[in-house]
């Protein structure tokens, strides 16, 4: 169970979060941070200044009646990349999004270029800043953000498969007729095509999955993994983007960091022996990733995770060749 939250009015008076990219995702994250405050100030940064300022004005309307709509007096304002470099948490949702039929890795060339220039524009970083990558392909960009920023490796992380794990939990909850909060299960590896479900470790309220099936039912694990993996594509096909799920989950990662909550989350980060960034469960606190938790995966799952890492190393190596 998550530890009780600290009083947001105490902590929020001291912390600042910058969001790079004031598009669909950045503005959803900002709204979540207004309704569920974890910092006193949220700063939006985007080279499209008209869009950025309009988003700030629109979001500002959500901060006024905070007693009525939730939240607690968060200030939202426009800022520069230099301002962002001095914030406690810097969320990077700057970059192109997939069009229908594109994969996340198709965005690599465009978004790597944006990441490099955004990081250069933010320097020098505040020493204890935590960079949280949300833009895609999130694992590859997390690898390069670590390299470009020069920040300690625990302080550079990506939202990774936190969103996929939330999707998996939702699907399982429905099939098992339990609350999603009681489903403990993770999608690991790449936030993308090679992701894998750690089926052997899924529990429902600490009870192994197989003992929780409804009478006369079987779980089609392959179909559930596919539904989880393909959920984003289906939403993008219908409405052009996904934003609310990642908005809420990014807000919650910011809270884990700023309130030093020590929650366990599947988060993309540097894994030395795999020579890439991918998602494994980590303990999250004010210094970012405090430690990685090793799951007792079976042989087949270990092989799938190794395949995901190998694919990610391939993308990194391709990206190294981009001028
Ligand atoms: N990790 C995840 O689970 C998810 C990731 N995403 C990713 O988030 C990214 C953003 O998606 P949307 O908000 O829908 O796109 P969008 O196109 O609505 O917004 C992107 C914004 O980034 C801005 N931008 C470009 N260069 C910038 C720079 N140097 N500094 C600051 N801002 C800059 C653009 O001007 C634009 O306003 C995409 O890469 C998308 O694939 C989206 C959903 C979930
Ligand atoms: C777009 C994306 O990465 C997602 O919704 O999973």
Confidence of residue 67 (pLDDT cuts 50, 70, 90): confident
Confidence of residue 101 (pLDDT cuts 50, 70, 90): confident
> Does 167 fall in a domain?
yes
Shortest-distance Cα residue to atom 18 of ligand 1: 23
Lowest mean pLDDT among 61-70, 95-104, 143-152, 185-194: 61-70
Contact 268, 142 (CB under 8 A): yes
CA distance 102 to 104: 7
- 80-85 contacts: CB < 8 A, separation 24 or more? 80/45, 80/121, 81/20, 81/45, 81/118, 81/121, 81/122, 82/121, 82/122, 83/18, 83/43, 83/45, 84/18, 84/20, 84/43, 84/45, 84/122, 85/122, 85/123, 85/124, 85/125, 85/126, 85/129
The predicted pLDDT at position 12 comes to 46
Which residue among 28, 95, 122, 265 has the greatest number of ligand 1 atoms within 8 angstroms of its CB, and so is best to mutate? 95
Ligand nearest to the CA of 93: 1
Shortest-distance Cα residue to atom 4 of ligand 2: 232
124 alpha carbon to ligand 2 midpoint, in Å?
A: 30
Confidence of residue 70 (pLDDT cuts 50, 70, 90): confident
Residues 20 and 151 in one domain: yes
Q: Is 25 annotated as a binding residue?
A: yes
Residues 177 and 256 in one domain: yes
Shortest-distance Cα residue to atom 24 of ligand 1: 94
Residues 168 and 297 in one domain: yes
Boundary of a domain, candidates 135, 158, 181:
158
* Structure-model confidence comparison of residues 111 and 100, the more confident one: 111
211 alpha carbon to ligand 2 midpoint, in Å?
A: 32
| Catalytic residue status for 81 | no
Please determine, for residue 1, whether its predicted confidence score (pLDDT) is greater than 90.
no
- Which CATH number characterizes residue 19's domain? 3.40.50.720
Query: Can you tell me the mean pLDDT for 247-261?
Result: 98
CA distance 197 to 209: 13
Range of the domain at 120: 8-158
Lowest mean pLDDT among 79-83, 99-103, 284-288: 99-103
194 alpha carbon to ligand 2 midpoint, in Å?
A: 14
- Which CATH number characterizes residue 231's domain? 3.90.110.10
239 alpha carbon to ligand 2 midpoint, in Å?
A: 13
The predicted pLDDT at position 13 comes to 54
- What is the number of structural domains in the chain? 2
The predicted pLDDT at position 25 comes to 98
Boundary of a domain, candidates 158, 192, 224:
158
> Does 36 fall in a domain?
yes
The predicted pLDDT at position 68 comes to 77
Boundary of a domain, candidates 158, 177, 199:
158
> Does 170 fall in a domain?
yes
The predicted pLDDT at position 73 comes to 83
Q: Is 22 annotated as a binding residue?
A: yes
Tokens in use for 164?
Answer: 């996929």
Please determine, for residue 106, whether its predicted confidence score (pLDDT) is greater than 80.
yes
Q: What is the pLDDT of residues 36-49, one digit of tens each?
A: 999 999 999 999 99
């Amino acid at each position: 169970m998550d530890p009780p939250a600290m009083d947001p009015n105490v902590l929020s008076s001291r912390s600042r979060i910058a969001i790079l990219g004031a598009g669909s995702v950045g503005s959803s994250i900002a709204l979540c941070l207004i309704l569920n405050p974890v910092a006193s100030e949220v700063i939006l940064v985007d080279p499209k200044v008209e869009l950025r300022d309009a988003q700030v004005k629109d979001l500002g309307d959500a901060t006024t009646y905070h007693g009525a709509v939730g939240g607690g007096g968060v200030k939202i304002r426009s800022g520069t990349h230099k301002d962002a470099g001095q914030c406690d948490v810097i969320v990077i949702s700057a970059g192109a999004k997939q069009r229908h039929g594109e994969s996340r890795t198709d965005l690599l060339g465009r978004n790597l270029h944006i990441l490099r220039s955004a990081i250069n524009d933010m320097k020098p970083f505040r020493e204890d800043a935590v960079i949280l990558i949300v833009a895609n392909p999130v694992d590859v960009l997390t690898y390069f953000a670590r390299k470009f920023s020069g920040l300690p490796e625990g302080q550079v992380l990506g939202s990774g498969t936190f969103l996929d794990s939330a999707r998996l939990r939702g699907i399982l909850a429905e099939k098992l007729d339990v609350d999603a909060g009681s489903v403990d299960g993770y999608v690991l590896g790449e936030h993308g095509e090679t992701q894998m479900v750690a089926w052997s470790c899924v529990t429902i309220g600490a009870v192994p999955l197989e003992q929780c099936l409804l009478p006369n039912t079987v779980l089609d694990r392959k179909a559930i993994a596919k539904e989880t993996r393909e959920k984003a594509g289906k939403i993008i096909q219908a409405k052009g983007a996904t934003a609310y799920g990642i908005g809420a989950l990014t807000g919650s990662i910011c809270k884990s960091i700023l309130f030093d909550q020590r929650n366990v989350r599947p988060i993309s980060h540097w894994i030395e022996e795999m020579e890439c960034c991918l998602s494994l469960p980590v303990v999250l606190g004010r210094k970012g990733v405090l430690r990685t938790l090793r799951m007792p995966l079976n042989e087949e799952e270990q092989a799938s995770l190794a395949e995901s890492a190998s694919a990610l190393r391939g993308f990194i190596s391709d990206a190294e060749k981009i001028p």
